[in-house]
Structure 1
Amino acid sequence: MARLPRLAIAGLTHHVIQRGHNRQSVFLDDTDRLAYLTALREAAALQHVAVHAYVLMDDHVHLLVTPPTAEALSKMLQAIGRRYVSAFNRRHGRVGTLWDGRFRATVLESGPHVLACMRYIEQNPQRLIPPTAATDYPWSSASHHLGRRRDSLLTDHALYWATGNTPFERELAWRRLLDDPLSGDEVQAHTDSALKGWALGSGAFLAGLGATTERPMAPRPRGRPARAPRQRMVAET
């Protein structure tokens, strides 16, 4: 099956995944992690991409972002790739690629899907073996949303602000959401949609996106279409 063209739409929130080549580690220590966040901060500012949430795992990265143009997302990730890979290779005495080809991304419908994706991203450490509590993991946006530190990289999503009228209310609401794990089906849906490039939202949302491009928004049902029942011919008497 041919790879679908990446879906990027101005003004909509996107879930982005970057994976290490052959699932190798892309961060060997905290210096690497700080270098990546610096590259992300500068590239996002240059392209005016709003970064709402992130998590840095040993062999992959998740981002929740809103680009102002369809091209801004790719330009931001390309700039990060050039800067970070060069610094990583130089620092660790290696050559060659670091990331597993192009980044993966999906478009999210505003509403529950965005908040669920924020939870999916920040709960990533809890799915490790052994697990690390999302609230204790230092290399994600969770500490910012919980009010433990201010992260200048982040632009709070409007839906996060809608969880409470004051910072205290928002932080308490987010703590409750982080403490509530997504179901296995929800985790799989967010993983598959980003890796396979399928938009995530309601039928009306997918139909609206489909009207703007010939690219399919969701996988087609498996199997052959059902045949219409054959009519039985009855001779007239």
Structure 2
Amino acid sequence: MARLPRLYAPDLPHLAQARFTVPLSAGGDGGAMLDQVAAWLEADARQHGVAVHGWALTFDQLLLMATPSGPGGISAVIQSLGRRLAARLHIGRVFAGRFRSTLVEPGAWVLPCLIWLETVPLRQGLAGDAELWRWSSAPAHVGAAAAGLLHDHADYWACGNTPFDRQANYRARMAEGVAPSAAQRIEQALYGQWALGGPAFVQSLEGTSSRRAAASKRGRPRKQPRAEDENAR
């Protein structure tokens, strides 16, 4: 089966996940390697016109929430990181297969996706608190670190009228975490690479997205009654 084209629509946030073939801690000082990849990410995002709203980097994966300026923006960032890492690690294949991505509905799923990706280090047992993991946007979102490469999404700004309010409200939401049902929706959207949002959002993508935004229903199409059958009733 031919793989689907990358799902893209202009001016919308994308959630992307790229897994590494070799853990970044395998060569020794994993922290130094994460520092380097984070620096490359900032440079590459600026170069390729990708506005990063949230990110998380662990030893086995990179997660991004970003709005690219064009259809190839996120792919260009991932490819550039792959070339840099391949040269540094002296390996051929950096990423385990094609990176996954999905379109995200603003106003409904941006904040859950941000919290989901920023709490990955907690789920992996790498940190006791998301804001203590410095290789993510969590510290910046709660006011514990400089913004760095971040371009905060409007949904984050809606968390409060002042920076203090936004940071406090976001910290409270991050402490609550993402409901299991919502986490499952996010992971399913990433795995299937279909749009993450409600029916109205998916319908709004018709004519603007690079391909069909939702999976087709399984099974054969419903058979339409023939005219003579209707007349016989």
Superposition TM-score, scaled by structure 2 size: 0.88
Q: Secondary structure at the match of 1:115?
A: helix
5+ long unaligned stretches in structure 2? none
In 2, distance between residues paired with 1:217 and 1:96? Answer: 33
What corresponds to 2:7 in structure 1? 7
In 1, distance between residues paired with 2:198 and 2:48? Answer: 29
In 2, distance between residues paired with 1:45 and 1:20? Answer: 22
What corresponds to 1:92 in structure 2? none
What corresponds to 2:34 in structure 1? 33
Q: Secondary structure at the match of 1:212?
A: coil
Change (3 A) 1:214 1:13: closer
Tell me the number of residue pairs that the alignment of Structure 1 and Structure 2 aligns.
Answer: 228
Q: Secondary structure at the match of 1:221?
A: coil
What corresponds to 2:67 in structure 1? 66
Change (3 A) 1:60 1:214: closer
Please point out which of 157, 161, 164 is paired with 2:160: 164
Change (3 A) 1:210 1:198: same
Change (3 A) 1:232 1:11: closer
Kindly report the root-mean-square deviation, in angstroms, between the aligned alpha carbons of the 2 structures. 2.4
Q: Secondary structure at the match of 1:26?
A: coil
Change (3 A) 1:232 1:72: closer
Superposition TM-score, scaled by structure 1 size: 0.86
Shift of 1:130: 7.9
Q: Is the 8 A contact 2:35 2:135 kept in 1?
A: no
CA distances 1:164-204 after superposition (whole Å, capped 9, x unpaired): 11111011001111011212221121112123210111212
More deviation in 71-80 or 207-216? Answer: 207-216
1:28-177 map, 5 Å = 28=26, 29-89=30-90, 95-128=91-124, 132-177=128-173
Letter in 2 for 1:63: L
Shift of 1:131: 6.9
In 2, distance between residues paired with 1:85 and 1:78? Answer: 10
Q: Secondary structure at the match of 1:77?
A: helix
5+ long unaligned stretches in structure 1? 90-94
